[in-house]
Each structure stands twice: as C-alpha cells, then as structure tokens.
Chain A
Amino acid sequence: MRSLFRLEGGLFHPLPFAASPGAVECQSSAAVAGLLAREIELATALAPLWLARLTVEAPRAVPMAPVATRTRVLRDGKQLQLIQAELTIDGELFADAIGLRVRKGDSPYDAAAPHGLGGPDAVSGAPPFGVFGHDGPTRIRMVGGPSYDAFAYWALCEAGLVEGESATTVVRAVMACDAAAAMSRNARGEAACPGVDLSLYLARAPSGGWILAQNEAEHADPSCGLVSSLLSDSDGAFGYAHQTLLYAHAAD
C-alpha cells in the first residue's frame, strides 16, 4: 500500500502522496491534519479513550520537508483527555491540533436519520473541479450533480498515512472530509486557499472505509466562507466537520 509519510529517524518524511494537489511543493492539508490526528490518537492515556473532537489550525503552508511532531497533555484523566499536537520543521511551528478524547461509556442512543443517498457503489460521479488528481490517495465519488454550495461525496482514503501502518478510521475520516474545502467556491468561482483550519465533532468513531460528506458552503463575502459537513458511514451519521474558507484575491 502506498503511503503519505515514511517515519525515519524520528521525522515524518513526506512522500509524493502527501503533496497538495494544487501546490505540489507543499503538503496537503489532509496529510497535515491526518498526521496530527494520528499523533493525538497514539498519545499515552490512563484508560482506553477515543477521539471525539479534533481542531486543526494550519494557517501557513507546510513545505514538502521532513516534519517532527510532539504532543502535550492539557487535561488528563481516565474519563477524558485533552491533547495538543504540534507539527514543526526545524523547530518552527507550522500547524497544531487540539484533540478531545473520551472514554466509551454508557449514554443515550438516538438513532441518526438515514442520509437517503445512494451508497458508494451506487454512484460513480468523478469530482468535477479537477482538484484531485486521478492517482491521489483518496478516491472520491460525487453524489448528485456538481454544485459549489451544496454537494455530497463519498470518499475512501486508499493510501496509508505512515508506511507500515494502517490508518485508523478517524484518520481516514479526517482526510476524507478535508476535501470539502477544496471543492468549495465563492461567488466569483474562485477556489479557497488550502486548509486554514479543520474541526471535527464526532458522536462515535466512524466504521469502515467509505465516508459520506454532505456539505454546505456559505459565504457572506467573497473573501471568506465556511464549509460545513455532515459525516456518515455505512451505519449512518456519526459527526460534523467545518472548515474556514479563505480566498486569495482579497489580499490584492
């Protein structure tokens, strides 16, 4: 299986799959977010915990250079844990993430409404905007016709995140929902800058490989916006994601 990173000498070396589709000299926001999610999931815990929330902040492009990661615990316990993960190059901070991990305990169950869309095998639409390469790490199948402000897709992350490892379902979900920002456009038809931030809010861990993202992009102004995603797997909805959209022209 092809991967996005090779772990060597304590550093994560980006492989070609880690490159941004729109700027190959930089790592994709999906790769950055996936790596930070991995670090949070691997952090030592006092009890079995799962990742219920992830907030990634990546306000600057990460070059295709070896990166280091480090984590620190902001709140610790057997029931929940708040962890910060940082991604650095030569000691310089490029991105960080906060992850909330919780114990899997009893709580009410209120079945999520079915999404009512066809499954990944029932749709075959290719991503219409040319953002994703035909040989990228994530397979995308659009559901319904193309739209810039309301669209849905199934995504399957086919590559491993780190060589020799299987990516967790949470990491795969992080990388799958990241694509929503790349597909959004403002009223001028412009594409947003690569991921400024990415936030996931999960009611349970995802299962399986395919992730359905039902997305709505909102813009009050051509310079910025918000894309919001309802995330489902084959068992139904399991969480939400949001990404701030920032458009390059506004600085001109």
Chain B
Amino acid sequence: MRASEREIDEYYGVDGDEFLPTMLSASPWRRDAQNGVALGLLMAHTLEAQFDPSREQVARFTLDILHPAPFAPTNVTWSTIRADSRIHLFEGKLEARGLKAVRASALVLAAGESAPRTDGGRDFAPPAESSERELNQQSGLNVRLMRSGSRGAATHSRATAWVRVEADVTPGEPASNIAAAIAAADMGAVALRRYRDCWDFPNLDVAVHFVRPPHQGWLRVDTEPLMLGAGVCVINHRIFDGEGPCARAHQTLFFNPRRRTSA
C-alpha cells in the first residue's frame, strides 16, 4: 500500500519517554489493546538502541505477552542481564497504564569478521497479486499472501506471505531489518483462516532465531502450523530475504472455541 493511502504513518507517537499508540497499533481482537505486530516492532526498535548494530547482531528475540497491553501511553525499558566480549543478554519490559504487559529477552552476539551487510542485497520483490488489502490498511504492513499447500511437518494450512513494513515505528524512524523480521513473524494467523469462524486463537508469544540480520525490504515468510489438538498451535516460520534464508521463528497460538452470540 502506498503511504498516501494510509491516514497514519507510524505505529507510535512519542512524548518524552512515552510511546503513544496510534490506530495502527490497535488490536484486531479488542480495540482497547495494542496488537502484537506493533508491540514487537516497538520492543525491537527500543532494543536496537541498546547496542551498536555495526558491531553486534541479534541472534534471538523472544517476546511474551503477559497481558493485553492497554491502548494507552506506553513505557519500555531494557536492562542488561549479562555482557561480555561475545554475548549481550537483554531483558525488556513494556508497561502501559501501570500494567506490565510484555516481557522480552534478546541474545545479542558480537558480529563476526565476515558478518553480512544488512543493506542492499539483490532485488527481492514479490509478485503483485494477492495483496492483503484489508490487513494492510489496518496494520501498516504490506502483506501479499501467495499460496497455501501441504508440505513439511504439517499436512495442511501451509502458507507463504511476503511482508514489508510500510509505516514508521515512530515518526521519521522506519522499522529496522530486525524489527521487520519480528513483525513478519507475527503472520501465523494467515495460515489459519479456515478456523476463524469457530475458534479464537490469540498469540501468546513470538520468538525469532536469526541466522544473520535480514536485508532491508521485502521478506518472504513460509508458514506452517503444527496443531495436534492439545490446546495450542505452534506456528513454524522460515524467513527469507533476497539472499536466502535468514531466520526461523515461532508463535504459540492459544485456541479457544469462539463464543457464538444469538441474533
């Protein structure tokens, strides 16, 4: 979606230490809460201010949603759990209206001597078809759902989506390549559309394991759900940029029968 088609160009405004959610950050499940994509983007955006991306790289990012984050001014803090010459271990928390709503942790490693560049890369653009227009208008993302099939561990419901973060995280500050991958890892629900009439399946967590930092621009996400009737679905993502596979990611979706309202 072109920027001119959006009324809002960022997920959060900024007022001092507080982040002010815009409608791009509203949850599709409940409008008084923030959505997972926005929370992941904000946590990643603030994490990357804690270290030097030219000398270190994120190896793992894990986000746990402790409570629905109120749609209210939001504070994020990160603290260092461990730091030595090779490893930085960070813990972050997000609070809104006095409620600790998100816990995150990140493993950051010293970049190697031949760490790949994170800009440029060969052209990597998706086919123009199958734009997820409704999702795009609500989310600040440009998502193109390409296909679904049956390969890998799950026998059904496999999907491929191309994702690009269009909106800025905060005014004038676009999503980094790391933040974009974390947002892309929140796409598990696109593989589960046929269950929407009967089930709610909110996201409990997002975890991204990076092989290397992705390049800027479009990311391709191959998604397959593993659903074995135990109350949750584990979404398995493989994330690609123009140079090939760059990360693996998972979500835990918590299934509840959808409550039906009588007419």
Chain B interfacial residues counted at CB < 8 A: 60
Tell me, in angstroms, the Cα distance from A175 to B30 when the chains sit together: 40
Tell me, in angstroms, the Cα distance from A216 to B205 when the chains sit together: 23
Interface residues as binary, A206-230 with B (CB distance below 8 Å gives 1, 0 otherwise): 0000000000001111111110101
> A199 and B112 in contact (CB under 8 A), knowing A50-B230, A111-B155?
no
Among B43-51, B164-172, B173-181, B249-257, the one that faces the other chain is B249-257
CB contacts (< 8 Å) of A222 on chain B: these are 112-114
Tell me, in angstroms, the Cα distance from A221 to B212 when the chains sit together: 8
Among A27-35, A152-160, A235-243, the one that faces the other chain is A235-243
A238–B250 touching, CB < 8 Å: no
In the assembled complex, 30 residue pairs joining A and B whose CB atoms fall closer than 8 Å, in A order, are A53-B207, A57-B81, A75-B64, A105-B230, A106-B229, A107-B199, A107-B229, A107-B230, A107-B233, A108-B199, A110-B154, A110-B226, A110-B227, A199-B250, A201-B234, A203-B232, A220-B115, A220-B116, A221-B111, A222-B114, A226-B211, A237-B226, A238-B226, A240-B226, A242-B60, A242-B248, A244-B209, A246-B87, A250-B110, A250-B113
Tell me, in angstroms, the Cα distance from A225 to B60 when the chains sit together: 11
CB contacts (< 8 Å) of B62 on chain A: these are 55, 98, 199
B205–A53 touching, CB < 8 Å: yes
User: Which residues 77-121 of A have a CB within 8 angstroms of B?
Assistant: 79-80, 82, 98, 100, 102-113
Interface residues as binary, B208-252 with A (CB distance below 8 Å gives 1, 0 otherwise): 011110000000000001111111111010000000011010101
> A244 and B82 in contact (CB under 8 A), knowing A107-B231, A112-B155, A113-B153?
no
User: Which residues 87-111 of B have a CB within 8 angstroms of A?
Assistant: 87, 89, 103, 105, 107, 109-111
Most buried by B among A59, A98, A100, A246: A59
Q: Residue A108 contacts which of B115, B153, B227 (CB distance < 8 angstroms)?
A: B227
Does any Cβ of B come within 8 Å of A196's Cβ? yes
Does any Cβ of B come within 8 Å of A70's Cβ? no
Interface residues as binary, A5-37 with B (CB distance below 8 Å gives 1, 0 otherwise): 000000000000000000000000000000000
A74–B226 touching, CB < 8 Å: no
Q: Residue B114 contacts which of A203, A221, A237 (CB distance < 8 angstroms)?
A: A221
Q: Residue B248 contacts which of A111, A221, A226, A246 (CB distance < 8 angstroms)?
A: A226
B209–A242 touching, CB < 8 Å: yes
The interface of chain B, by Cβ under 8 A from chain A, is: 59-60, 62, 64, 66-67, 81-82, 84-87, 89, 103, 105, 107, 109-116, 151-157, 195, 199, 204-205, 207, 209-212, 225-234, 236, 245-246, 248, 250, 252, 254-257
A113–B64 touching, CB < 8 Å: no
CB contacts (< 8 Å) of B248 on chain A: these are 226, 228, 242
Tell me, in angstroms, the Cα distance from A204 to B84 when the chains sit together: 37
Most buried by A among B62, B67, B195: B62
